[in-house]
């Protein structure tokens, strides 16, 4: 039976220049590979060692990129190794099969959202009313499924995020602060549900996962084993659970460690 490896991308396996600056001292900087370019500018990186590890992983397991990115944002990424047959975008809102959206899956997601939580319109209107233009740079909607703000972190009032989280939870939504972005995501929109569907289709009996943010918690809990890096929302709050390893590595080197753990666990289960 195949092993399914579902991993978050940003700040888990790949890192923007800003994320590199926060976690990688210049004196010990490893060799990097650019894996994303947008408007002729390099955006995201992983180490060359991580690139080789990911290539090896793609040869031994069903690797499933599992991201909150939109499909368009995900398709900018050029990961090393075999092209993944499955990918999960928009926090589980879209299941890609050979790069194409599974329409039935997406329709089912939309039906659950309509039944189980407040509308995107209500959330967007609340964000527009309460977010101060002094620290908001952009209001964005992703795939007509969830909303996020791009903010100036140094100006962002901590209490505002906490108040938003309480307001959202009462309406069936989750709030996550990741770098300069504040996400408001419907609670039924989960990475774990899409990963379970991929496991069903592939017949995988073992699921491994990794992620760094609150939006990855359900993914980690649904996996047989999981890893989180030493940075990010989950690390900042001390979040952990049975079968979840809290790694000490931070930044781009955490990506290497996660891939090593994936490979070790995958090879251990090989006949």
The pLDDT tens digits of the residues spanning 108-118 come to 999 999 999 99
| Domain co-membership, 11 together with 102 | yes
In terms of C-beta density within 10 A (0-12 exposed, 13-18 middle, 19 or more buried), how is residue 115 classed?
A: exposed
> In whole angstroms, what is the distance from residue 227 CA to residue 124 CA?
33
Shared domain for 101 and 150, answered yes or no, is no
Residues 143 and 68 both lie in one domain: no
The confidence score (pLDDT) of residue 269 equals 78
195 in the same domain as 98: yes
| Closest residue by Cα to residue 61 from 204, 210, 164 | 204
Residues spanned by the domain of 234: 3-110+189-268
Domain containing residue 10: CATH number: 3.40.50.1000
pLDDT value for 25: 60
Same domain, 27 and 105: yes
Contacting residues for 69 by C-beta, under 8 A, at least 6 apart = 9, 10, 89, 90
pLDDT at residue number 21: 74
CA 145/CA 184 separation, integer angstroms: 10
d(CA 235, CA 145): 27
User: Do residues 262 and 134 share a domain?
Assistant: no
User: Is the domain of 155 the same as that of 39?
Assistant: no
Q: What is the pLDDT of residue 27?
A: 61
Q: Which of 132, 162, 186 is the last residue of a domain?
A: 186
Write out residues in the chain with pLDDT < 70, as ranges. 22-27, 270-271
Per the listing, tokens 């527009």 go with: 128
Give 23's Cβ-side CA count (13 Å radius).
Answer: 23
Of 186, 215, 238, which residue sits at a domain end? 186
Based on the fold, state whether residues 24 and 89 are members of the same structural domain. Answer: yes
Tell me which of 186, 220, 245 is where a domain ends: 186
Q: What is the pLDDT of residue 18?
A: 84
Residue recorded with tokens 């989750």: 174
pLDDT for the residue 26: 58
136 and 200 inside one domain: no
Distance CA(127)–CA(11), nearest Å, equals 25
Residue 30 has a pLDDT of 85
């Amino acid at each position: 039976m195949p092993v399914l490896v579902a991993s978050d991308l940003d700040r888990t396996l790949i890192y923007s220049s800003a994320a590199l600056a926060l976690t990688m001292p210049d004196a010990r900087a490893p060799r990097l590979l650019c894996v994303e370019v947008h408007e002729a500018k390099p955006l995201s990186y992983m180490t060359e060692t991580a690139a080789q590890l990911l290539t090896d992983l793609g040869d031994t397991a069903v690797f499933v990129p599992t991201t909150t990115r939109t499909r368009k944002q995900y398709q900018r990424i050029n990961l090393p190794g075999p092209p993944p047959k499955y990918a999960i975008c928009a926090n589980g809102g879209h299941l890609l099969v050979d790069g194409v959206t599974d329409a039935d899956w997406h329709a089912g997601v939309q039906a659950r959202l309509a039944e189980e939580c407040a509308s995107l319109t209500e959330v967007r209107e609340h964000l527009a009313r309460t977010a101060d233009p002094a620290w908001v740079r952009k209001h964005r909607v992703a795939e007509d499924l969830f909303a996020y703000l791009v903010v100036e972190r140094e100006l962002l009032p901590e209490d505002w995020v906490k108040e938003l989280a309480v307001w959202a939870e009462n309406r069936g939504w989750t709030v996550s602060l990741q770098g300069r972005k504040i996400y408001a995501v419907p609670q039924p929109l989960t990475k774990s549900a899409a990963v379970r569907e991929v496991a069903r289709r592939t017949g995988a009996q073992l699921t491994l996962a990794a992620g760094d943010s609150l939006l990855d918690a359900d993914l980690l809990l649904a996996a047989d084993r999981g890893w989180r890096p030493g940075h990010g929302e989950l690390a900042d709050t001390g979040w952990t659970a049975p079968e979840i390893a809290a790694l000490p590595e931070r930044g781009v080197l955490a990506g290497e460690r996660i891939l090593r753990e994936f490979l070790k666990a995958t090879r251990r289960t090989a006949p």
